[in-house]
Amino acid sequence: MEFTSLDQMLRDTKQSGLPLWENILLSDCARQNIPREESMARMATMLEVMVQADEGYRAGDRSASGLVGGDGGRMAAYAQAGNTLCGPFLSDVMAGALRMGECNACMKRIVAAPTAGACGVLPAVLLPYRRHFGAGKDQLVQALYVAAGFGMVIAERASISGAEGGCQAEIGSAAAMAAPALVHLQGGSPEQMVHACAMAVKNLLGLVCDPVGGLVEVPCVKRNVIGAMDALSAAQMALAGIESRVPADQVLDAMAEVGRSLPHTLRETGKGGLAATPFGMEYAPKEP
């Protein structure tokens, strides 16, 4: 079964009596016609690639344009010096998002979750969570299944493409996947996961895609930080019992409508927003 709505995913999970992550796992097995062990092995590989990219980060690397590099190292150094504004955990999250976004810009191996431009959000919340709260590999793999299930519905009802729906469809979708994954790790209910997803989307509704020079670098890398922080805030609100007043599927439908309404200049063409500033125009592709 492929889920076409979050409401359907909740109903099916209740009927199955299984944890949400496991119901999503079984759906993946049925969709790809693969055994459970193979699906779990693939997801474990995704987690390992995230870990390797994070651990293999080098602060001295720079993207080909020279626009990106070193900020993940700067944030980590600032955090290690102590007396940070956000504290150790949030500083680690921010550093992780920057590291992964820079790895993508520097052509390293990453996991598109759901896209390369938004690759920093999920690992930026999951890997620091492991370090600070002691989550094991199995727990993180389960969290990735939760994220994947929500991502599948977002792709079905709205979009995960910046060219189609703006950056709300990339960073916004990544945040909406990471938020329920965090709720799962904290022992929250499927209903709380759905509310976390909805609130994460609402927080970034309308976010434009305006890459300077048409490159997935500026402002993309730093927006991964915002996506990670959005996921954390949405997850914590949901865990506190705060609910999205607008039903989650309706939020996703609104996301799709907003994406269609964005002008083409704000959908990954590099012709509007920050890309159209005097600074951005310096990096615009030269006309032949």
Residue 211 in any domain: the answer is yes
Provide the pLDDT confidence category of residue 288 given band limits of 50, 70 and 90: low
Q: Which of 130, 62, 142, 69 is nearest to 99 (CA)?
A: 69
The whole-angstrom distance between residue 18's C-alpha and the CA centroid of its chain comes to 25
Whether 16 maps to a domain, the answer reads yes
| In the predicted structure, residue 89 carries a pLDDT above the cut 70 | yes
Q: Is residue 287 part of a domain?
A: no
- Residue 189, domain member (yes or no): yes
How far apart, in whole angstroms, are the C-alpha atoms of residue 163 and residue 165?
6
Q: Residue 275: what pLDDT?
A: 98
Q: Which residues, 6+ apart, have CB-to-CB distance to 254 below 8 Å?
A: 205, 246
DSSP H helices, the chain, are: 6-16, 20-32, 36-55, 71-80, 87-105, 121-133, 137-157, 162-165, 171-185, 190-203, 220-239, 248-261, 278-282
Q: Which amino acid is at 3?
A: F
Is 14 inside a domain boundary?
yes
In a domain, 245, yes or no: yes
pLDDT of residue 125: 98
174 and 182 in contact (C-beta within 8 Å)? Answer: no
| Distance of alpha carbon 88 from alpha carbon 76, whole angstroms | 10
CATH number at residue 210: 1.10.4100
Residue 288 lies in a domain: no
Would you say residue 168 lies in a domain?
yes
Contact 99, 120 (CB under 8 A): yes
In the chain, the number of structural domains is 1
Reported as a single tens digit per residue, the pLDDT across 108-158 is: 999 999 999 999 999 999 999 999 999 999 999 999 999 999 999 999 999
- Tens of pLDDT, residue by residue over 11-49, are 999 999 999 999 999 999 999 999 999 999 999 999 999
Q: What is the mean pLDDT of residues 219-246?
A: 98
- Structural domain span for residue 226: 6-282
Instruction: Output the CA torsion sign for 183, 234, 99, 218.
Output: positive
At 2, the pLDDT band (50, 70, 90 cuts) reads confident
Among the listed ranges 157-166, 196-205, 227-236, 279-288, which one has the minimum average pLDDT value? 279-288
Q: What angle do the packed helices 171-185 and 190-203 form, to 10 degrees? A: 150
Alpha carbon 164 to chain centroid, angstroms: 17
Residues contacting 64, CB < 8 A, separation 6+: 107
CB contact at 8 A, 216 and 116: yes
- Which residues in 243-277 are b (16+ Cβ under 10 Å) and which e? bbeebbbebbebbbebbeebeebbbbbbbbbebbe
DSSP 167: G
